Structure 1
Amino acid sequence: MRSPAALVLTAALALTGGAAVPGPATAAPDRADAGPAPAAAARVASGARVLAVSVDGLNPAALRRLGPERTPALHRLLAEGAGTLNARSSRELTITLPNHTSMVTGRRIDRRTGGHGVTWNDDLRGRTVHGAAGERVSSVFTVVARAGGESAVLAGKTKFSLFDRSWPAAVDRTTIDADPVKLLRAARAELVRGDRELVFLHLALPDVAGHASGFMGRRYLDAVARTDRILGRLLRTVDARPELAEDLSLVLTADHGGRGANHSDRTRLANYRVPFVVWGRGVTHGDLYAMNPQRQNPGTGRPSYGAARQPVRNGDLANVVTGLLGLPAVPGSEFDDGHDLVVR
C-alpha cells in the first residue's frame, strides 16, 4: 500500500540562480494523478530502484580541472558507467527550476509547443506545473506511483516544493534542507531502508558557491569537490550492501553549468553544457554518444529540438529512470519517450 504524501520543510533558504520570470496562473494540485494501479498496469521491475541525482550548476569543465584526485566519485561513475560530459540543458532557459521540471516530466519548457511551462525560478507558493502548462502534466513520480511504487524528493532549495505541490499523491516524501550533510543522511537512510523505488536527490553546493563568488572560481571548485565527497559516501553505502548494489541504478545530471557571475545566458556553452551519467545495475560502460549513434554529439553547438539527431539532454532523465524501472515512458513526454537511449 502507498503511504500518504509527506512534506517536510526543514529550511527556509532558497537561492535562485538567475532572474525569475513570472509564471502563468495556478491550477489546483492534481490529486487524481496517482492512485491504486489498475490490475493491468505496468509494475516496477522486480527489485529495481533508482537514485536520480542533480548537481545544481555542475559545469563539466570543473571535473577536468579538479581531476580524479579531487573528484574521485564523479570520475568513478564516468569510468564504470555510461556517460558524457557533453550533454545539454533545456534550450529555452539555463536556470534551475525550469530545467529540473524538464528532468522529471521529460518535456521541453515552452508551453506553446507542448512544454511544461515552468519559466520562473523562485519559490512561488501556490503555483503548480499543471497551472504553468495549462493542462495536467504527468511526471516520473506519477508513473512510479501508478505502478505501485514510491518516490522521495530530497532537495537543497525550497523552490522544489513545486514537485510535492504538483504531484501530492505521487511524491511520498519531500525533504528540503539547505544543509547538504542532512540531505546526505536522508539519502543514505532511503537507500538503506530500501522501500522506495525512486529517490530524487538535488545537491545545491556548486550553484550556491557560484552565485556567491563566481562559477569556476576557487570556492566553486571547492564546492564541487565537497559534493563529490557526498557522492562518494553514497557510493560506499551501496558498495557495503551487495543486495543494494544488485538492485540500484544511479542517474546523474545537472540543470546548467556556469562561468563567472551567473549562468543565465542560454547561448553560452559554459551554461548549457552539462554531464549525464548512468551507473549500476547492468549498465554498460561507455560513452553515451558512441553507444547511441542515433544521438548527435553536438560539439560546442546548441541544437534545436527540431534537429534530426538530438543530443543527450538533462530532460532525458525522466524516461531513462522509467526505463531502468521497467516502466512505460512518462505520458506527454518528449525526451527519450521511446526509451531509445541505450545504457545497458
Structure 2
Amino acid sequence: MTVRSRALVALAALALLAPSSATASPDRSPETASTSAGSTRSAAVAREDAPAVRVLAVSVDALNPTAMRRLGREAVPHLWRLVDEGAATLNARAQYELTLTLPNHTSMVTGRRVAKRAGGHGVTWNTERPRSTVHRAAGERVRSVFTEVAAAGGSTALFSTKAKFRTFTRSWPRAIDRTVIRVGDDDALVRAARADLVTHDRALTFVHLGVADAAGHAHGFMSPDYLRAVEHADDLVGTLLAAIDTEPTLDDVVVVLTADHGGVGRDHAQADQLGDYRIPFMVWGPGVEHGDLYDMNPTYVDPGRSRPRPVGRQPVRNSDLANLVTTLLGLGAVPGSQFDVRQRLRVSGGR
C-alpha cells in the first residue's frame, strides 16, 4: 500500500472512530475527569475500521519553541516539517506541578497529572532510583499507554538517553517488549531506534532524545551551544523521518512529537516561567491533517503566555500524548488517565 492510499484508509478510519465511553465532560477538571481503574478498552480494538497505523512518539527533552523560531526552517527543517505538514502547536504546556523530566514523561505515558493527592502518578523525583516504580509512587497500580497497547496484542519499545527511564520498564515489564538506554549518546540511540522501526512491526515506539537538555544545563538554555544541540536533535528527528519516507514498511507510521519542558538560564525547575512550561506538540503522518491544534480543537483553550491550572478547560499538554496514541491505535482511554479522557483531541477532520 502506498503512502497516499494508506493515508486515505487511515483518515477514513479515524473519521469512523467513536469517542471513548468515559462520562466526564471535557470541560471538567482532571481531578474528576478520570477513567475508572476497572474500565475496559473500547470495542474499536476489534473493529475492522480501526486505524491502520503505528505510532512513533518522540520526546525532545527541553525543546523550547523559542529555539525553533529563532533557528528557523533552514536550520531545523525536520521539526518545522512536522509543523508545516501536520497538526501542531508551539504553545502547548508541560505539567503544572513540575517542569522536570521524569515527572513529565510519566504524565506523557499515563495521561495523569503529577500530584498524587489529585489522582496523579506521584512521580516527583528526577533521578534513577533502582527500586522505584510508578505504582509505588501512586500508591496503586497505574496503567499506561504501554499496558493498553500490550493488552490489545500490540508490541511496544522504549528508547532513551537517560537511565531514569528504566522506571517505566520496572513498572510495566510485561508491556514494554524492548528497552534501549544509551546514556548521553543520542546518535547511537537513534540508530538503534531506526533499525528497530524497520525490522519490527511495533504498534508503539517511544523515543526520548536528551541532547538539547544536556547542552542547556551545561551552557544555558538559548545559548549558542543549546541552539546547536537543538539543530542536532533536528538531525536525529530527520533520520527517523527519512526512514519513514524511504522504507515501504513504515508508510503507516504516525509521529507524535512533544517535550517535557523548556529551560531558562541553566535550569528548568521554575514551573512558573514561560520558558520552562511552554512546549511544542506536533502530530504528523497518514490520516493527519495540516492545521493549528487549537483551531482544530475548540474544546481546548490556547493559553497565550499563561500557565493554566489543571482544572476547567485545558490547553494542549504533553500528557495528552497517552490518549492521543490510544485514539490513533483504535483503543480506549488509558484507565486512570486524567487528560483527553474522552479522546477528543482532533488531528484530522474525523479525529
Whether the TM-score (by the shorter chain) exceeds 0.5 is yes
Secondary structure of the equivalent of 1:109?
coil
Counterpart Cα distance in 1 of 2:51 and 2:74 = 37
Taking structure 1 as the reference length, what is the TM-score of the superposition?
0.86
Unpaired segments of 5 or more residues in structure 1?
Answer: 1-32
Asked whether the equivalents of residues 44 and 330 of structure 2 are also in contact (C-alpha less than 8 Å), the reply is no
Check if 1:330 corresponds to 2:313.
no
Counterpart Cα distance in 1 of 2:195 and 2:108 = 24
Counterpart Cα distance in 2 of 1:159 and 1:135 = 20
Q: Report the residue type matching 1:49 in the other structure.
A: R
Check if 1:170 corresponds to 2:184.
no
Asked whether the equivalents of residues 73 and 80 of structure 2 are also in contact (C-alpha less than 8 Å), the reply is yes
Counterpart Cα distance in 1 of 2:147 and 2:249 = 26
Note the C-alpha offset of 1:41: 8.7
Unpaired segments of 5 or more residues in structure 2?
Answer: 1-36
Say which structure, 1 or 2, has more relative contact order (CA 8 Å, 6+ apart). Answer: 2
* Structure 2 counterpart of 1:237, from 234, 240, 243: 243
Superposed CA offset, 1:139-176 (max 9, x none): 00000000000110000000000000000010111100
Secondary structure of the equivalent of 1:311?
coil
* Structure 1 counterpart of 2:276, from 271, 274, 290: 271
Check if 1:257 corresponds to 2:262.
yes
CA RMSD of aligned residues (A): 1.6
Check if 1:319 corresponds to 2:317.
no
Secondary structure of the equivalent of 1:42?
helix
Counterpart Cα distance in 2 of 1:212 and 1:167 = 32
Asked whether the equivalents of residues 43 and 148 of structure 1 are also in contact (C-alpha less than 8 Å), the reply is no
* Structure 2 counterpart of 1:191, from 188, 191, 197: 197
Counterpart Cα distance in 1 of 2:192 and 2:323 = 25
Counterpart Cα distance in 1 of 2:204 and 2:46 = 14
Asked whether the equivalents of residues 41 and 146 of structure 1 are also in contact (C-alpha less than 8 Å), the reply is no
- Summarize the alignment of residues 63-74 of structure 1 with structure 2, pairs less than 5 Å apart: 63-74=68-79
Aligned to 1:5: none
* Structure 1 counterpart of 2:216, from 169, 192, 210: 210
Secondary structure of the equivalent of 2:244?
helix
- Summarize the alignment of residues 1-344 of structure 1 with structure 2, pairs less than 5 Å apart: 42-43=45-46, 45=50, 47-177=52-182, 178-245=184-251, 247-307=252-312, 309-344=313-348
Q: How many residues align?
A: 306
Secondary structure of the equivalent of 1:320?
helix
Counterpart Cα distance in 1 of 2:256 and 2:94 = 15
Taking structure 2 as the reference length, what is the TM-score of the superposition?
0.85
Counterpart Cα distance in 2 of 1:50 and 1:194 = 13
Tell me the percent identity.
Answer: 59
Asked whether the equivalents of residues 251 and 317 of structure 1 are also in contact (C-alpha less than 8 Å), the reply is yes
Note the C-alpha offset of 1:194: 3.4
Counterpart Cα distance in 1 of 2:100 and 2:162 = 13
Counterpart Cα distance in 2 of 1:230 and 1:97 = 21
Counterpart Cα distance in 2 of 1:194 and 1:87 = 31
